């Protein structure tokens, strides 16, 4: 039996790797898993084929007697928040998050608003591959999917309630929001305006071709956005991915700040403001070791986990001792709100931090240790990527290593992570060093090991 679910849901190139037929059958498998009479909320981002896949999934759910509510266009965290707070039994979200425009995907959410656990994914896959669907009698098919147009408003209200609105409003902030031509445009500007912030948008109209930029919010895709932040003399910019569960921050100098740096200053702020909260942060091995250096003096322990927001969310839920959780890609999880990545909540918290500090955002970031970072990827099959991981382990065998997801090598003046992608046929390479020369030397070493594997040596 094969696998459907990757790091975060089922993804593929639309109409090639992910077809409406597959979506229909997957909808039937999901409906069989939840059972007749359960209430399931369905929604999507703006990606190509989203309406088609949503319709196919809804057809499959209805065939198994599920009561379907259609939230349609909404950010992933907005749908998750609504599922959790409005007594739904689960949800299905049509999204491929940060992937290129030709991709779409399907993720399944439990009643707590978090993506279903890995063992439940296996159950759905077994139903799918063995075609153990449970269609119901026509007597249970008398209701169509019901529109549920409340998702975005419920979410905006929920975010705004978690921060000090008056404090933020008193500062008269001016910010730039770049929702990547997708559903973040429906909520983040509203959140900011509710907090008394002047908003300028770039790439704010909905368009499945993502004409403004690719949906992954990385520096090479944000060149124009950073120019706008500087030209408008804005206090900050925020860039979302396709489903707005990530928020990458641009400071007033136009510098793109990685998510783990933003998470570090947020964690420090939350620990100081809320001494009653726990003193553990949960993050993926892809995050910088800078977080240990900065947060240890505050008595905050860093718990390293494999890459994947689902695993971070579920671990935080199990342990009930998290100050926050995060990924370097801009996904930040604030437990008092919800245990999932939430770009809108990240923006609101950062505005509160900035209002409280009464300093420029660049000054706050500049307090963090400075490293030279490189993030890149090499196309290759998963089995080849795993071979590269083993060679990196051997080459750096005399250093501290974390091997829960690929291999992370940690030294006094650098760290590097080499791992297979969970969503694409790629080897992902991330590293930081205190000098550019050291970083480039490390990258050259890893590339050489990768070339040896690709050439069959």
Q: What is the mean pLDDT of residues 220-244?
A: 98
Domain boundary pick from 365, 382, 397: 365
Give me the pLDDT at residue 87, please: 93
In this structure, are 272 and 240 located in the same domain? Answer: no
Specify if 157 maps to a domain.
no
Q: What is the mean pLDDT of residues 65-80?
A: 98
Specify if 300 maps to a domain.
yes
HEC secondary structure over the chain: CCCCCECCEEEEEECCCECHHHHHHHHHHHHHHHCCCCEEEEEECCCCCHHHHHHHHHHHHHHCCCEEEEEEECCHHHHHHHHHHCCCCEEEEECCCCCCCCEEEEEEEECCCCECCHHHHHHHHHHHHHCCCCCCCHHHCCCCCEECCCHHHHHHHHHHCCCCHHHHHHCCCEEEEECCCCHHHHCHHHHHHHCCCEEEECCCCCCCCCCCCCCCCCHHHCHHHHHHHHHCCCCEEEECCCCCCCCEEEECCCCEECHHHHHHHHHHHHHHHCCCCCCEEEEECCCCCHHHHHHHHHCCEEEEECCCHHHHHHHHHHHCCCCEEECCCCCEEECCCECCCCHHHHHHHHHHHHHHHCCCHHHHHCCCCCCEEEEEEEECCHHHHHHHHHHHHHHCCCCEEECCCCEEEECCCEEEEEEECCCCCEEEEEEEECCHHHHHHHHHHHHHHHHHHHCCC
Give me the pLDDT at residue 27, please: 98
Give me the pLDDT at residue 456, please: 87
Domain boundary pick from 256, 279, 295: 256
In this structure, are 175 and 266 located in the same domain? Answer: no
User: Token match 């229909």: residue?
Assistant: 24
Q: In this structure, what token pair is assigned to residue 340?
A: 């999932």
In this structure, are 192 and 278 located in the same domain? Answer: no
- pTM score, two decimals? 0.92
Give me the pLDDT at residue 152, please: 98
Domain range for 330 is: 259-365
Specify if 193 maps to a domain.
yes
Q: Does pLDDT of 457 surpass 90?
A: no
Cα(279)–Cα(297) distance, rounded to whole angstroms? 11
Give me the pLDDT at residue 1, please: 58
In this structure, are 252 and 267 located in the same domain? Answer: no
In this structure, are 34 and 144 located in the same domain? Answer: yes
In this structure, are 141 and 216 located in the same domain? Answer: no
Specify if 21 maps to a domain.
yes
Give me the pLDDT at residue 185, please: 98
When pLDDT is cut at 50, 70 and 90, the band that residue 422 belongs to is confident
In this structure, are 16 and 147 located in the same domain? Answer: yes
- Mean pLDDT taken over the chain: 96
In this structure, are 109 and 44 located in the same domain? Answer: yes
Q: Does pLDDT of 2 surpass 80?
A: no
When pLDDT is cut at 50, 70 and 90, the band that residue 447 belongs to is very high
Q: What is the pLDDT of residues 285-343, one digit of tens each?
A: 989 988 999 999 999 999 999 988 999 999 999 999 999 999 999 999 999 999 999 99
* CATH number for position 243: 3.40.120.10
Give me the pLDDT at residue 8, please: 83
In this structure, are 360 and 422 located in the same domain? Answer: no
In this structure, are 142 and 43 located in the same domain? Answer: yes
Specify if 2 maps to a domain.
no
Give me the pLDDT at residue 3, please: 83
Specify if 48 maps to a domain.
yes
The answer to whether residue 97 is catalytic is yes
Comparing 38-52, 224-238, 294-308, the range with the smallest average pLDDT is 294-308
Give me the pLDDT at residue 106, please: 98
Q: Does pLDDT of 224 surpass 80?
A: yes
* CATH number for position 425: 3.30.310.50
In this structure, are 296 and 352 located in the same domain? Answer: yes
Q: Does pLDDT of 6 surpass 90?
A: no
Cα(193)–Cα(187) distance, rounded to whole angstroms? 10
Q: What is the mean pLDDT of residues 138-166?
A: 97
Specify if 160 maps to a domain.
no
In this structure, are 198 and 250 located in the same domain? Answer: yes
When pLDDT is cut at 50, 70 and 90, the band that residue 83 belongs to is very high
Domain boundary pick from 330, 365, 400: 365
55, 63, 97, 309: which is the annotated catalytic residue?
Answer: 97
Q: What is the mean pLDDT of residues 72-95?
A: 98
Q: What is the pLDDT of residues 364-400, one digit of tens each?
A: 999 999 888 899 999 999 999 999 999 999 999 999 9
- Number of domains, the chain: 4
């Amino acid at each position: 039996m094969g696998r459907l679910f990757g790091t975060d849901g089922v993804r593929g190139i639309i109409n090639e790797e992910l077809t409406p037929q597959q979506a229909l059958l997957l909808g039937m498998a999901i409906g069989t898993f939840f059972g007749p009479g359960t209430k399931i909320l369905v929604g999507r981002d703006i990606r190509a084929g989203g309406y088609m896949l949503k319709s196919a999934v809804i057809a499959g759910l209805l065939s198994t007697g599920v009561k379907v509510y259609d939230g349609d266009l909404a950010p992933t965290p907005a749908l998750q928040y609504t599922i959790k707070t409005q007594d739904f039994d689960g949800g299905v979200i049509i999204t491929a998050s940060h992937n290129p425009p030709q991709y779409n995907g399907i993720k399944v959410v439990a009643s707590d608003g978090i993506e279903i656990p890995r063992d439940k994914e296996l159950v759905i896959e077994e139903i799918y591959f063995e075609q153990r669907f449970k269609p119901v009698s026509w007597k249970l098919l008398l209701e169509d999917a019901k529109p549920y147009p409340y998702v975005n408003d419920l979410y905006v209200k929920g975010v705004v309630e978690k921060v000090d609105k008056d404090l933020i409003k008193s500062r008269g902030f001016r910010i730039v929001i770049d929702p990547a031509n997708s559903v973040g445009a429906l909520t983040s500007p509203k959140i900011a305006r509710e907090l008394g912030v002047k908003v300028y948008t770039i790439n704010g109209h909905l368009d499945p071709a993502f004409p403004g930029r690719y949906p992954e919010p990385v520096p090479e895709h944000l060149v124009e956005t950073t120019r706008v932040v500087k030209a408008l003399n804005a206090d900050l910019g925020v860039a979302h991915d396709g489903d707005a569960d990530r928020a990458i921050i641009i400071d007033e100098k136009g510098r793109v700040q990685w998510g783990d740096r933003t998470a570090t200053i947020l964690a420090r702020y939350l620990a100081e403001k809320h001494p009653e909260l726990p003193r553990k942060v949960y993050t993926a091995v892809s995050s910088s070791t800078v977080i240990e250096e900065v947060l240890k003096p505050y008595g905050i322990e860093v718990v390293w986990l494999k890459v994947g927001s689902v695993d971070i969310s579920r671990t935080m839920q199990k342990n009930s001792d998290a100050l926050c959780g995060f990924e370097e890609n801009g996904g930040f999880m604030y437990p008092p709100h919800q245990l999932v990545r939430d770009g809108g909540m990240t923006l609101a918290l950062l505005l509160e931090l900035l209002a409280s500090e009464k300093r420029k955002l660049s000054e706050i970031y500049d307090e963090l240790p400075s490293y030279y970072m490189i993030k890149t990827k090499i196309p290759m099959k998963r089995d080849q990527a795993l071979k590269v991981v083993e060679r990196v382990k051997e080459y750096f065998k005399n250093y501290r290593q974390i091997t829960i997801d690929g291999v992370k090598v940690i030294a006094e003046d650098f760290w590097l992570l080499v791992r297979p992608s969970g969503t694409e046929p790629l080897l992902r390479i991330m590293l930081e060093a205190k000098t550019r020369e050291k970083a480039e030397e490390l990258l050259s070493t890893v590339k050489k090991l990768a070339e040896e594997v690709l050439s069959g040596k």
